[in-house]
Structure 1
Amino acid sequence: MSHSRLAALVALPVLLAQGAVAETEAKTAPAPAGLQVELNAAETIDANCKLTFLITNTLDTPLEKAVYETVLFDQNGTVDRLTLFDFGTLPVGRPRVRQFVVPQTTCENLGRILFNGAQTCAGEGVDAGTCESDLGLTSRTEIEVLG
């Protein structure tokens, strides 16, 4: 066996171990402080769209109330409507599921949801802009979520 091939075989377990450590660190890295909002599901029921969100408060304090002005866009990028999503009380570090029914539109018609701003962000010692500046948005659906 050549020296270079032997060196490559010896180095392979070290490289694999380094990759496994990096992957483990990425999986266990704490979420950034703020509110993590995931559009988890979208289901059309009787010509209405039911949106299911998973939201986690990773701030240092619970929120008494978090209400967002959202803009719903259709598949063509046209504004369908502005509405408010009230996520209610959000304890620290405990995921919560919230559902909202959007009347008279199917989920297949929705293309994007824009979190336009926080109408209410209330909690002891919470600055008014916290719900906007520390907002992480993701989607597990075909509907894009942005803010």
Structure 2
Amino acid sequence: MRQALTVAGMVFASICQSASAEDAPADKGPVPGISVEMNKLEAAGDDCRATFVIQNGLDEPLSALKLDLVVFDGQGIVARRLAADFAPLAAQKTAVKIFPVSRMACGDIDRVLLNDVLACEAADGAVKGCLDRLALHSRAAASFVK
């Protein structure tokens, strides 16, 4: 009886392992896209300076990448709105861009929302599905979301 249970347990474990291996996505490497990381927020006089690290994972340079960013305070109130220009971006290149958030202390920034993509263009015109190709991350105390 004990041997039958052991064999049944091994068969069950094998089935579960096979199913989970089939359900797991195949590792096809990184999906081509654009990574935008809000790296840090630091005081600059009466302003807050937002530093972003952008990685263009596309095989083509971007001549335009302008994002509509909305800054929220700790109470969820819209505090500022920025049109941040991240271009030009070479293909397969990482860059750093810095933007001032005027008359706002960094500690008052709770969240930054990517509200819209105002421009996203390569040499041959507009990049299709640019918003979907943007992956956002934050290393700052504030979150960075779509």
8 Å Cα contact 2:80/2:101 also seen in 1: no
For residues 36-73 of structure 1, the C-alpha deviation after alignment (integer angstroms, 9 at most, x for no partner) is 00011110121200000000011121100100011110
Could you list the runs of 5+ residues in structure 2 that have no partner in the other structure?
1-26
Q: Distance in 2 between matches of 1:132 and 1:121?
A: 9
1:54-93 aligned at under 5 Å gives the runs 54-93=53-92
Shift of 1:29: 7.4
What is the TM-score of this pair, normalised by structure 1?
Answer: 0.76
Identity %: 30
- 1:63, 1:90 within 8 Å by CA — same for their partners in 2? yes
Letter in 1 for 2:143: E
Q: TM-score, normalised by structure 2?
A: 0.76
Structure-2 residue corresponding to 1:112: 111
What's the RMSD between the two structures over aligned residues? 1.7
Displaced runs of 4 or more, over 2 A: 28-32, 124-131
* Counterpart-to-counterpart distance in 2, 1:55 and 1:104: 25
Which residue of structure 1 aligns with residue 145 of structure 2? Answer: 146
Which structure has the greater CA radius of gyration?
2
Q: What SS does structure 2 have at the residue aligned with 1:132?
A: helix
Look up the SS of the partner of 1:137 in the other structure: strand
